[in-house]
Copies of this chain bind each other. A is one copy, B any other.
Amino acid sequence: MAKILLNKKNLFHNLNLISNQAGSKEKVAVALKDNAYGHGLKEIAKLASEFGIKKAAVRSHAEAMKIKDFFEYILILADNNITTCSDTFHVALNSFESIALLPNDINVHIKVDTGMHRNGILPSELEKTILKLLEKNMNITGVFTHHKSADNLLTDDFDKQNEVFSKVKEETKKICKKLSIEIPSFHSSNSSALFRHKSMDESFARVGIATYGYLETTPSDNLPPLKPVMSLWTNKVSSRILKKGETVGYGGTFMAHEDMNISTYDIGYGDGFLRLNEQHHYITPKGFELLGRVSMDYIALNSTDNEVCLFDDAKPLAKLHNTISYEIVTTLSRDLKKEIE
């Protein structure tokens, strides 16, 4: 049975780098959305909590419920289908219209669009939004934004968005003073942004991909020495000698140039290990070659080992798939067994 092996030492190494950069463990919210980027929601929640992280960010209320015992503070980023809400949960408001969809009396973080133009209210809607939230007796516990290009040092998008958000923060403080309400938390840093700031003067950073050992900042000089947390392992199903001239798998796209020992292994794109075909060339960390096409439940390798590590770093696969490491780890099936080493 294929499995995801989680390297606790690497995770703690990353969380240590992140906490130091943020200033303290209290200033880190670990992003656990999408099954902790494929790593296992509960597994990473438990480990992050053991490390001393107190805050988490998830996508849905259902995710928050699964990890509520591990954290003092949980930010729900994208869920309007909420009926009741724990005191430790804080719900992101992604549009003015969604105020009407949310229940009264909950904790809300207002998302402000500072230039990504994806979600959030406009800076000009700030006062209107705060007043509407107060009408529903909601606690405004946060105001935040998201960077579109914090991972790109070659543009000035990061600075521009920071400038807009600074004004949003000032404006928020003014409105709060006027209305005699508490000033909320402010946060804007994702992984890339956190490592670009010289010092973190906000309430906390929301750290996803760096937790798991990746950072795709361009150019990639001076990146923090993060270590991948996940490795993917697969077990042998059957072995045979592929004779010279014989082919293996669908379409017979790999042909043996000499007699060779091959085996099939129990993973495929049905497990979210994205499909490679004859146009790709992938070599496992131990040097085994992926032969022909990835099928739904199987791959073939020039190996007879009982268990093979398919990857311990998602970057080479991301490159082959013309995508980012995030997708390689996040698409892995939730049903894959998780083990902690």
- In the bound complex, residues from chain B placing their C-beta under 8 Å from that of A37 are 296
Chain B, residue nearest A150 (CB): B250
Q: How far is the CA of A266 from the CA of B315 in the complex (A)?
A: 26
Q: Is A270 in the interface zone, CB < 8 Å from B?
A: yes
Binds B, one of A117-125, A129-137, A167-175, A180-188: A117-125
A58: shortest Cβ distance to chain B, in Å? 11
- Asked if A78 and B266 make an inter-chain contact with CB atoms under 8 angstroms apart, the answer reads yes
- Asked if B33 and A297 make an inter-chain contact with CB atoms under 8 angstroms apart, the answer reads yes
A191: shortest Cβ distance to chain B, in Å? 13
Q: Is A313 in the interface zone, CB < 8 Å from B?
A: no
- Asked if A275 and B148 make an inter-chain contact with CB atoms under 8 angstroms apart, the answer reads no
Q: Which residues of A contact B (CB under 8 A)?
A: 1, 33-34, 37, 59, 77-78, 81, 94-95, 97-98, 113, 116-120, 122, 148-149, 152, 155, 157, 237-240, 242, 246-252, 262, 264, 266, 269-270, 272, 274-275, 277, 279, 295-298, 300, 322-324, 326-327, 330-331, 333-335
Query: Which of A1, A97, A117, A148 is the most central at the interface, judged by chain B CB atoms within 10 Å of its CB?
Result: A117
Q: Which of B33, B248, B250, B279 contacts A149 (CB 8 A)?
A: B250
Taking A238-B119, A240-B122 as contacts, is the C-beta distance between A148 and B331 under 8 angstroms?
Answer: no
Q: How far is the CA of A250 from the CA of B247 in the complex (A)?
A: 42
- In the bound complex, residues from chain B placing their C-beta under 8 Å from that of A330 are 269-270, 296
- Asked if B78 and A148 make an inter-chain contact with CB atoms under 8 angstroms apart, the answer reads no
Taking A81-B1, A95-B237 as contacts, is the C-beta distance between A118 and B249 under 8 angstroms?
Answer: yes
- Asked if A117 and B298 make an inter-chain contact with CB atoms under 8 angstroms apart, the answer reads no
Instruction: Return the 7 tightest CB-CB contacts between A and B, nearest first.
Output: A95-B238, A34-B270, A117-B248, A275-B327, A119-B238, A269-B327, A94-B238
- In the bound complex, residues from chain B placing their C-beta under 8 Å from that of A238 are 94-95, 97-98, 118-120
- Asked if A247 and B296 make an inter-chain contact with CB atoms under 8 angstroms apart, the answer reads no
Q: How far is the CA of A298 from the CA of B157 in the complex (A)?
A: 20
